[in-house]
Chains A and B, each alone.
Chain A
């Protein structure tokens, strides 16, 4: 187990910079998820930690040791790949024990560790099969087993679940979380799926275009997004965004209607400032059908464009100031397109972003 520190880590391909100086400290035993859209540099960052990509600038330290110029085998990390990357010509037992065998461990020791890992991951019955004879989920489990038998300083996961179907993905997600609770090793986990990030992480690192947009616990990132990008990337459906201008303690929207500035943000927004009001679907609900009834609120009369009943809740599409907005209705009640309802905006859960920079006014 070890702490991983990145200072000003950069990756350049010729003149093209794909990772722009990343600073990040991952504590011993912490589960950190790097999340972002494809091409944001999250996998490249992980591969630089692993030693599979050269580091163009900055420093990577694992357990206090600078590893910039060390080959992967000397970094004492293990990695789980998106395509499992099992050794096709070895059976499961040999796949699991390969790293130990290369390290020159005794057969007894290898057998003990392999059995231990097989026990944890439920692979005991599959030890004599070859990877070709396993299902996707089983292969992923073998890949994880191969990572844990070596008792490394850190686990690196590179989108390990994206080749699995939705149901299996949910299962494996839970298994990874359980695994981490058992072995308590430092984990760096890369994914483009914000649900995985939210459910697994101790801390989430949101990346875009080779830069870190925000670092925080899942709840911090969800409840206090640092900017518009994080606000729309984390959470489903994406946060509704309404452009407007601050005028007399309210956000005046494009059609002239006004929503009061959330009380916790008064004083943060200057009169006449162009802002974007952000509010999640969960926080706009027909009166009496929302999550929270108390706290500051604002009421708007809106007509339903489309309703998607999901059982205990319904997703409602409506329009505010000419823009599509998604709202949620809690409780089993049917609404029809064209219905006109009074919606309540939970203002203490609304966000204001500076329109020019995209930054949250809360963060400044």
Chain B
């Protein structure tokens, strides 16, 4: 009898000990997730609380699938992400290679390189908003003073220029993520294979192309995973610099979702959009993670 009781107690003990953690997870993660999933299946409007209880199935999703007002920002986000990641990779790689070459002041430069990451994206947005302002911005002022142009270039007013300006701000802030990670990769790189390649007949470019770059790719994919999540949720810089304008031509997914949810009060529709965007982020993460694993497979166990 006593024995039976003690066994029962040991059976339950692990679950009891886990209970607080499970409760917190339920309350903080599962509940909001389920709630938002539910709202995405209703025509919930913040101004009409009763609409929360009207179930409309996948209507929000079906309507979004044929809605260009959603797919254009969606495509723009993918395009923006692709361009930003590639340019940041190329630029970060260049910076890392240059810093790896210098022997004096390397630590100092590494720290300075990280300065942009220490600012709030909102402030970076404001900074570039003033730099790119067509009337009072320092950029137009400089271009005119140098006689390069006599017109005010509408940096944040023209659709394509505005997108490019946002891209510039984004890259200014975050290229160092790539630079830092790739530099770490260069530091960790064994010297022997490089020397072997030089003896094997490689010129400096071939050494880079065939030995250094493959070695750095796992580091690049880590940076890309981090940055793809970062850029896919871009909101603050865009909100501050253009607000998604002019006429929605810099609208990205999350500025659109925020507008739909908070300004238009269509929380149900906004949540449906958010779920689709989350899928996009997951897709990118899985893609880069796969690439990372494939690149890393060869690196294990050597040296």
Contact B302 A102 (CB under 8 A): no
Chain B: minimal CB distance from A113 (Å): 13
Contact B303 A99 (CB under 8 A): no
Contact A98 B298 (CB under 8 A): no
Contact A87 B303 (CB under 8 A): no
A66 on the B face (CB < 8 A): no
B residues less than 8 Å from A83 (CB atoms): 190, 192, 303
Per-residue contact bits, chain B 261-303, to A (CB 8 Å; 1 contact, 0 not): 0000000000000000000000000000000000101111111
Q: Give CA–CA (A183, B198) in the complex, Å.
A: 23
Q: What is the total number of residues of chain B having a CB less than 8 Å from a CB of chain A?
A: 25
Query: B200-237: which have CB < 8 Å to A?
Result: 200-203, 206, 210-211, 214-215
Contact A132 B211 (CB under 8 A): no
A88-B299, A89-B214 known; A102+B195 contact, CB < 8 A: no
Q: Give CA–CA (A131, B302) in the complex, Å.
A: 7
A residues less than 8 Å from B198 (CB atoms): 51-52, 71-73
**Tally of A-B residue pairs with Cβ under 8 A?**
81
A98 partner, pick from B190, B197, B203, B302, beta carbons under 8 A: B197
A28 on the B face (CB < 8 A): no
Q: Give CA–CA (A82, B203) in the complex, Å.
A: 23
Q: Give CA–CA (A83, B192) in the complex, Å.
A: 7
B residues less than 8 Å from A192 (CB atoms): none
A residues less than 8 Å from B202 (CB atoms): 73, 102
Contact A88 B201 (CB under 8 A): no
Contact A102 B190 (CB under 8 A): no
A78 on the B face (CB < 8 A): yes
B residues less than 8 Å from A133 (CB atoms): 301
A residues less than 8 Å from B301 (CB atoms): 131-133
Chain B: minimal CB distance from A243 (Å): 45
Per-residue contact bits, chain B 160-175, to A (CB 8 Å; 1 contact, 0 not): 0000000000000000
Query: A22-77: which have CB < 8 Å to B?
Result: 50-52, 71-73, 77
Contact A87 B193 (CB under 8 A): yes
A residues less than 8 Å from B299 (CB atoms): 88-89, 132
Contact A89 B199 (CB under 8 A): no
Q: Give CA–CA (A150, B195) in the complex, Å.
A: 16
Contact B300 A132 (CB under 8 A): yes
Contact A86 B193 (CB under 8 A): yes
A88-B299, A88-B302 known; A99+B200 contact, CB < 8 A: yes
| Residue of B192, B214, B301, B302 most packed against chain A (CB within 10 A) | B302
Q: Give CA–CA (A71, B195) in the complex, Å.
A: 11
Q: Which residue of B lies closest to A82 (CB)?
A: B192
Q: Give CA–CA (A86, B193) in the complex, Å.
A: 6
Contact A102 B201 (CB under 8 A): yes
B196 on the A face (CB < 8 A): yes
Chain A: minimal CB distance from B9 (Å): 48
A247 on the B face (CB < 8 A): no
Contact B199 A132 (CB under 8 A): no
Q: Give CA–CA (A77, B201) in the complex, Å.
A: 9
Q: Which residue of B lies closest to A78 (CB)?
A: B199
Contact B192 A81 (CB under 8 A): yes
Contact A81 B190 (CB under 8 A): no
A265 on the B face (CB < 8 A): no
Contact B302 A77 (CB under 8 A): no
Q: Which residue of B lies closest to A99 (CB)?
A: B200
Chain B: minimal CB distance from A152 (Å): 9
Contact B195 A98 (CB under 8 A): no
Q: Which residue of A lies closest to B206 (CB)?
A: A102
Contact A79 B196 (CB under 8 A): yes
A103 on the B face (CB < 8 A): yes
B298 partner, pick from A88, A103, A146, beta carbons under 8 A: A88
A298 on the B face (CB < 8 A): no
A168 on the B face (CB < 8 A): no
Q: Which residue of A lies closest to B211 (CB)?
A: A87
A residues less than 8 Å from B201 (CB atoms): 73, 99, 102-103, 150
| Residue of A73, A90, A99, A146 most packed against chain B (CB within 10 A) | A73
Interface residues of B (CB under 8 A from A): 190, 192-193, 195-203, 206, 210-211, 214-215, 295, 297-303
Contacts A77-B199, A78-B199, A87-B197 known; 8 new A-B pairs at CB < 8 A: A50-B199, A51-B198, A71-B203, A73-B200, A86-B193, A86-B196, A87-B193, A132-B298
A-B CB contact pairs (8 Å), 27 listed: A52-B195, A71-B198, A71-B203, A72-B199, A73-B199, A73-B202, A73-B203, A78-B199, A78-B200, A79-B195, A79-B196, A84-B192, A85-B190, A86-B193, A86-B196, A87-B193, A87-B211, A88-B299, A89-B215, A90-B298, A99-B201, A102-B206, A103-B201, A132-B298, A132-B301, A132-B302, A133-B301
